[in-house]
Amino acid sequence: TEIDGSLTFRKSCRHAICGSCAMNVNGSNDLVCHRNLAESLDHKGVVTIKPLPYLPVIKDLVVDRSSFWEQYKRVKPWLVPPETVPEKEFRVSPEEVAALHNAETCIMCGACYSSCQVIAMNKEYIGPHALLKSFLRIIDPRDTIVGERLEDVGGDDGVYRCHTIFNCIDACPKGLNPTEAIETVRKLAQKRVAMEEARAERQKNL
């Protein structure tokens, strides 16, 4: 067996929780640390491993994720709580917790981002990974800048750019549904615009 000691790739946890080892295996994106080699062999006994698509290659299987992280920062993925801390705990319903947990389990591996056909055509698109995190903050009852968030993702490069091809769902190694999250945020953004237009119309008629 020939082993190339110079072959470069990212790895870390070996438990499918860090997202470092996302690569393209036999044409689909996945975390190679939990991929069974024997089950990945084709009829010729070959497995084809490539770097993630739509991202510049630094070396071998290592890609430059700068654009991935830049789009992530655009959505302000951190929680913005009230300035005044309430005397009691924040009340969050079980249904809200379930929705929050679904989005929080994203490990930022880039599998969805580099399988998105919109990213392939338009690098300015925010991307399913960032829009999923935006959804996480928008539905969080503790967050105080929901309107600002909806405005940030409601432009031409945000939720309206998604073509609902579902590649991101197929690619996600954690079984998440970024498309559903994007659709939810899109409806909230549309509702916000409609309410603002109605308010402006009422003020004009005063």
Q: Where are the alpha helices (DSSP H) in the chain?
A: 37-40, 66-74, 94-104, 117-121, 128-138, 146-153, 167-171, 178-204
Helix (H) or strand (E) segment spanning residue 23: strand 22-25
Q: Which of 56-60, 72-76, 127-131, 197-201 has the lowest mean pLDDT?
A: 197-201
120 within 8 A of 54, measured Cβ to Cβ: yes
pTM: 0.89
Class of domain 65-204: mainly alpha
Are 152 and 76 in contact by the 8 Å Cβ rule? The answer is yes
H, E, C per residue of 59-114:
ECCEECCHHHHHHHHHCCCCCCCCCCCCCCCCCCCHHHHHHHHHHHCCCCCCCCHH
Per-position b or e across 129-156, b if 16+ CB within 10 A of its CB: bbbbbbbbbbbbeebeebeebbebbbee
Tokens representing 34 are 């939990």
What confidence category does residue 175 fall into, taking pLDDT thresholds of 50, 70 and 90? very high
Q: What is the arrangement of strands in the sheet containing 28-31, beginning at the earlier edge strand?
A: 28-31, 22-25, 49-50
Q: Report the alpha-carbon distance of residue 43 to residue 41 in Å, rounded.
A: 7
Per-residue pLDDT, 45: 92
When pLDDT is averaged across residues 53-73 and rounded to a whole number, the result is 97
Residues 50-72 have a mean pLDDT of 98
What pLDDT is recorded for position 187?
96
Q: pLDDT confidence of 193, banded at 50, 70, 90?
A: confident
CA 175/CA 4 separation, integer angstroms: 33
CB atoms within 10 A of CB 76: 18
pLDDT of 169 reads 97
What ranges do the domains of the chain cover? 65-204
Quick: pLDDT tens for 95-147.
888 888 888 999 999 999 999 999 999 999 999 999 999 999 999 989 999 99
SS3 200: helix
Q: Residue 168 corresponds to which tokens in the numbers above?
A: 């991101």
Per-residue b or e along 52-62, where b marks 16 or more CB atoms closer than 10 Å to that residue's CB: bebbeeeeebe
Query: pLDDT category, 1, cuts 50, 70, 90?
Result: low
The yes-or-no verdict on residue 206 having pLDDT over 80 is: no
Contacts of 85 (CB under 8 A, 6+ apart): none
